[in-house]
Chains A and B, each alone.
Chain A
């Protein structure tokens, strides 16, 4: 079965009263508001301390300019690189393609700040004056290289789900294969591609590690200046609000670019398009390009980290806490998958399954903006209400700090911060399941939860795996929220890296950084195994 383009989804049913009591709509909105709720602290700071930001007006023009320039650069970079690579892998055949298909995901496991340190060391050692990493262009390149996998992953699965029939049809109309891809396949994958670019942009908005190392004066950098330098949390939250408005603009643009159409792939596995067989120079380039990319972003930094680790072991500066830190990182990242992905499935399915309403759509949008905020801002937004509840609970029952003293607050922060990642994956997966299937299954007497478990989850397993992978690697790399909210004794690998790099002790930082990357590669390997079992082409 091929691909159906359905304009404007399905028609709203006409039971107005019933819709008010629609459990799924209610559940979706409630969950979305719960996730977005803590972020109220951001705009609220304008009420509690109206003039705070005025003391730092000098920071704003520079921050706005640097942020916009960075977004434009990273947007263009990840769009071209991610889509190009996805098209190459999905539509062409050449030796080594199956390996590169997954190799290209590996940069996901590389924390941006670790790659930045490597790039700085490389440019210092090479001494090429034109290679200035400490510049806007340098930062754009660094972010593009580490973040393109978001676009690549989402675009690739969209291409695969399209199947070959439409491309064949386009060729039947006289288009060359290359033009058919550009004219038909890429526009059809637009929701996934734009979604991936949005994720990459939100991540670069929220980043502090890389921009601080490279001296880029973005909004997030300004937040740290006024909060950590001038101790003005209100002004920091107000800057955070401005950052949220940038994110909202991005999401709005994303929606506009998606357009009104919805695309649904076949319910049965799509028939793979006849691949373009590359030969000669083209085949060599198709292998060498991606290989060079993986070598630069993953293999070379890994080699550097290994050398430093060996030196650290030689000097005896290897700390024994790394084993505990690795266990903590692994546990936190693993559990986060269940929580964040669970919330994303409920939201995406709830919105699809409930009566389509503006309110639920906007609420879900709000619930994903945490990804565009620095982790420390999210952490403070979470700790304030949870701390308040904690103290009230303690007053009543004398139980101590149940929420903020344990991993619960940390998981709450992870959900707020990373929901967008899981949601994008799940939602673009669900979008390809035709609605007729929901209707049919329900017509056969299944309730919605049953339909979700027995129809949708199996159909979107690749999307679920992608979401799980994204959440896992992000939590492994996450620093600021973990630093603030972890329980006593809950140090992670990222914290061990921070500790050493904040004093420029790169050899000491190497081993935990190496472990972050290696452990982050585990889910990638798992994803490869699982998805190979599902015949895709």
Chain B
């Protein structure tokens, strides 16, 4: 009896395996994407419709997609990898999971500082991580640099997202690469001396400012774009930080061709398509980000705050400082 029921179990499991394994895949391109949580992104749909190719989007967060890609190796179904930050593209490149792509069109579409010099990945959009202020309680100009958030006037008025967030780690690693450890640590210690309230997400930080729990915060720009789309009177505005210095911290969301792809031609076509100025604009507009080709061209919710200078992205420099950043954030008490 037990034997036969075990047999049944094995049979039934094999069945589910077949059902689940065959409901995706297919002949077309497979994209491992960390953008899946931004909702339906039209460029993928329109590419599929235009070319008749079958696109399979497999969502996950970048570190998980990385583990999967490394384990699958040359047998992977994936043809392309999309991430929402530069560090994860850099990491995939370091691990040899991506391959160089040479395409005049892509090189025209993506400025040299927003793509890998070896052509292993390309930016599609950029996003700014900057200071947010209450339009009701904070005057324009009261805080204009990241270091200003350490001013004692913000004591008990500052909200930050948790130090677990990769966006914060990337920011700190970038500061360490450019300003050195000592200066970055001093800045973070002064932030922490203001006893910031630590919240779980960028959206929580924006809502806390809107609700009056804090007066300034530090988030990605597109989250504010979403809030303003829902409610044009949302009482929060960005401060484009460090305009008299290096510029506002910017990160990118980008794409790379998986080294083990069996469809280089198809992958190249998709990268060319997604980085084309028109599709960049669609990506950016859907999520209030900035196209890499024309950094000023995004939705009215964000452009109303004017243009700003960007701190040049140094992916390799920041990548090398990620461990120091995590350790430092923990030492200064950014939980």
Contact = CB atoms under 8 A, between A and B. Distances in A.
A400 B327 contact: no
A489 B37 contact: no
B48 to A, nearest CB: 15
A231 interface: yes
Interface stretch (B10-18, B116-124, B251-259): B10-18
Contacts of B73: 387, 391
Contacts of B202: 504
A453 B4 CA distance: 12
A169 B104 CA distance: 90
A59 B170 CA distance: 18
B325 A230 contact: yes
B182 interface: no
Nearest to A61: B330
A513 to B, nearest CB: 15
B142 interface: no
A57 B324 CA distance: 11
B111 interface: no
A452 B16 CA distance: 28
A484 B68 contact: yes
A487 B9 contact: no
Interface in B285-335: 322-323, 325-327, 330-331, 335
Contacts of B77: 405, 488
A213 interface: yes
Interface string B162-173: 111010010000
A212 B91 CA distance: 24
Contacts of A452: 2
Contacts of A407: 13, 16-17, 20-21
A404 B72 CA distance: 8
Interface stretch (A18-26, A331-339, A522-530): A331-339
Interface stretch (B56-64, B148-156, B234-242): B56-64
A124 interface: yes
A233 to B, nearest CB: 8
Given A401-B75, A491-B59, A406 B20 contact: yes
Contacts of A369: none
B20 A489 contact: yes
B51 interface: no
B24 A391 contact: no
A411 interface: yes
B37 A342 contact: no
Nearest to A338: B9
B61 to A, nearest CB: 7
Interface residues of A, number: 74
Interface stretch (A101-109, A376-384, A460-468): A376-384
B21 A504 contact: no
B24 A224 contact: no
A453 B9 contact: no
A67 to B, nearest CB: 14
Interface in A180-227: 212-215, 217, 221, 224-227
Interface stretch (B126-134, B193-201, B268-276): B193-201
Contacts of A215: 162, 198-200, 335
Nearest to A390: B75
A490 B20 contact: yes
Given A221-B164, A484-B64, A489 B327 contact: no
Interface in B57-100: 58-61, 63-64, 67-68, 71-73, 75, 77, 87, 91
Contacts of A57: 327
Contacts of A503: 37-38, 203
Interface stretch (A92-100, A254-262, A494-502): A494-502
Interface residues of B, number: 61
Contacts of B164: 212, 221, 224-225, 228-229
Contact of A342 (B6, B38, B330): B6
B124 to A, nearest CB: 18
A404 to B, nearest CB: 6
Contacts of A342: 6, 9
Given A331-B19, A338-B9, A230 B75 contact: no
A306 interface: no
Interface string B220-239: 00010000000000000000
A484 B73 CA distance: 15
B36 to A, nearest CB: 6
Interface in A384-421: 384, 387, 390-391, 394, 400-401, 404-408, 411
A125 to B, nearest CB: 10
A421 B137 CA distance: 52
A489 B202 CA distance: 30
Contacts of A379: 64, 67
A487 B162 contact: no
Most B-side CB within 10 Å, residue of A404, A449, A488, A505: A488
B67 A484 contact: yes
A319 B58 CA distance: 16
A228 B166 CA distance: 7
B270 to A, nearest CB: 17
Given A488-B30, A500-B37, A56 B13 contact: no
Nearest to A410: B20
A227 to B, nearest CB: 6
A490 B166 contact: no
Contacts of B181: none
A509 to B, nearest CB: 10
Contact of A212 (B2, B200, B331): B200
26 contacts: A55-B327, A56-B326, A58-B330, A59-B330, A215-B198, A215-B335, A217-B335, A228-B63, A228-B166, A229-B322, A230-B322, A231-B87, A331-B19, A338-B13, A376-B64, A379-B67, A404-B72, A405-B75, A449-B3, A484-B67, A488-B24, A488-B56, A488-B77, A489-B25, A502-B61, A504-B223
Interface of A: 55-59, 62, 120, 124, 134, 212-215, 217, 221, 224-233, 317, 319, 324, 328, 331-332, 335, 338-339, 342, 376, 379-380, 383-384, 387, 390-391, 394, 400-401, 404-408, 411, 449, 452-453, 480, 483-491, 495, 498-500, 502-505, 508
Given A401-B75, A406-B17, A499-B59, 9 more contacts: A58-B327, A59-B327, A319-B40, A335-B13, A390-B75, A407-B13, A452-B2, A487-B17, A498-B37
8 closest A-B pairs (Cβ-Cβ)? Answer: A489-B24, A488-B24, A504-B203, A387-B71, A489-B23, A229-B169, A499-B37, A58-B330
